[in-house]
Structures are given as structure tokens and as C-alpha cells.
Amino acid sequence: MGKLAVVSDLHADINRFTTEDLAQLLSVLKEKKADRLHFAGDLANKVEKAQAIVAYFEQYLPTTFNWGNHEMADLTAAEIEDYPNPAFLNQKALALNQKTVLVGYNGWYDYRFSTLKDKEKIEAIKRLYWYDRVIKREESDQQVDAQLQKRLKKLLDALKKADKKVILATHFVPKKEFIVYQTDPKLKRWNELNAFLGSEKLGELLDHYDNLEQVVFGHTHRRFDDKKINGTRYSCRPFGYFFEWQLTREFVLENQLVEEYNPMKLRGVLKAHEAQFKEYQKQHLKSEFEQAVTMIDY
């Protein structure tokens, strides 16, 4: 029996991670007795940085990865789906043992999680607000999503026919149970932007496979307890940006740096207390990593 660790949304450049910081994650993986690691997207904004992180962990244990939307901005459409790196696992199955395989799948989105239903309005807010507007795609988002799932279905059908148990690692959200809808009218925009969090159609496709043991994903930057849906365990515990971490919340509240806690307004506060925050991060980062690693026995 082995232990697979899956990590998503490391965002190493935005979080300004050093080798010392990565060593803390490695320490967590060793303590959890992981013998294999998979990164489920958004390692970094730049592909060169993302590959450097993969190379760092490859020194210590077998490591694979698929892309998230942040790396995609640095790639051509062809490179997004078929990147020339032996560790790149997208639309492929890697045998973990004689019975179980790990499937990597970048994924995309179909707009169905949005409270907006007008496709043109959704595309307009994407151009205004969403990072992915810089990603080079030749078809519409919904066409891309459908084409990727058609390819994935062929792979999953073959694995089911071969009587293989499947662990699927992807970046985008496949189930509505992991989408948060805000009730505050001032936050209405976030409910509209849910369009770009994942694909409900992907979740519907996955429901057809009783050999699908577990699905691990991120992108939403919210951590959830595991949920079992139609016999499959779904895990979502992305690492996220430094101003979203639990340790950051504890830092600002313990030091009474804000009257009202709002992660999106913390960057200025943290900049003003940079040295103090860096020291606090150094002491508590390992705990944050522990909360953001999904461990799977196989």
C-alpha cells in the first residue's frame, strides 16, 4: 500500500515562497509518509517557476502535476493540454499499483455555477474582472469544456473496462456542493463570477463511474470537509493566497490589526507589518501546509 499526497493552488510566486518554505511542505509530506506527490494546478503564474518547484520535489519523491488557470496564461493552447514534461499528467493515467491509477485532468468551466444565465454577460464580466481573459483559447469556454470532457470520457471508459480503480486530480470544481453563494447584496458579483470556478457537466460525467474512488481539486481557494457524492469521495483543500490563509487570519486578529476581518483588504495591513508577519508565517506555515494536503491511501 502507498500514500499519495495531492496539493493545489500553491501560488509560489504570489506567496513569495523560498526554498526554506518549500522545505516545510516537504517536512509535512515526510511526516504523513507520502511516497508520491501530485500538484493539481496553480503552482505559479510562470511555467518556469512551476517546473522549478516540481523539480525540487522530484529530488525526494515521485512527483506529477497538471495545470491550473494561472499557468495557462503562460502557455499556448497546445501546451496547455499536451506539455512536453514527463511529469505532466493531463488526460493520462498513471498506474499506482496493479489495481489503482491516478488520472490528471486540467479541466475548464461551463458557466453553470454562475447566477448569471446570459452567456454574453458572463463573457463580459470575464473580460472585465477575471485573470483568465489573458489565456489563449481558440474556441469558446463551453466548447473547450465539452471537447476536454469528450477526451476524458474515452480514458475513463477504457479504465472502467479494464476494471481499474481511479483517483482523479483536476484543478477546477466539478460539483455545486463546493460552490459558495453569497447572501450579502454587496457581494453579488462573486456569485456571478462563480461561472469560472468549474464545470457542472464534469461532475455529471463523473457520476457514471462507480470505479471512481476519489476526486481531488482546488481553484476555489476555500477548503471544505470531504464529501461523498454518488459513491465517490470529493476533496477540496486548496492552499491559496497568503492573505487568505488561516494563519493570516490568526495573525491579524491576535494583534488586533483590523476592526473587521476581510481577506481581500489585508494586503496593505500585512505590508505595514511585513517583518512581524514574516516571522509569524515562519512559525506557522507548516500547520497551514498540513491543512492543505490531501492524503490518499492506495
What does the pLDDT look like over 80-127, one tens digit per residue?
A: 999 999 999 999 999 999 999 999 999 999 999 999 999 999 999 999
Question: For residues 25 and 179, what is the distance between their CA atoms, to the nearest angstrom?
Answer: 27
What does the pLDDT look like over 188-216, one tens digit per residue?
A: 999 999 999 999 999 999 999 999 999 99
pLDDT, mean over the chain: 97
What does the pLDDT look like over 46-85, one tens digit per residue?
A: 999 999 999 999 999 999 999 999 999 999 999 999 999 9
Question: For residues 50 and 47, what is the distance between their CA atoms, to the nearest angstrom?
Answer: 5
Question: For residues 176 and 162, what is the distance between their CA atoms, to the nearest angstrom?
Answer: 30
C-alpha count within 13 angstroms, C-beta hemisphere, residue 186: 0
Question: For residues 180 and 160, what is the distance between their CA atoms, to the nearest angstrom?
Answer: 32
Question: For residues 2 and 140, what is the distance between their CA atoms, to the nearest angstrom?
Answer: 40
Q: Cell match 468549474: residue?
A: 198
Looking at residue 224, its pLDDT comes to: 98
Quickly count helices (H) and strands (E) in the chain.
Answer: 11, 10
Asked whether 170 and 217 are in contact (CB, 8 A), the reply is: yes
Looking at residue 259, its pLDDT comes to: 87
DSSP assignment of 91-126 equals SEEEESSSSEEEEEE-----STTSS---HHHHHHHH
Q: What is the DSSP letter of 35?
A: S
Looking at residue 206, its pLDDT comes to: 98
pLDDT of 131 above 90: yes
**Integer CA distances (angstroms), 229 to 152, 176, 215, in order:** 20, 11, 10
Asked whether 239 and 11 are in contact (CB, 8 A), the reply is: yes
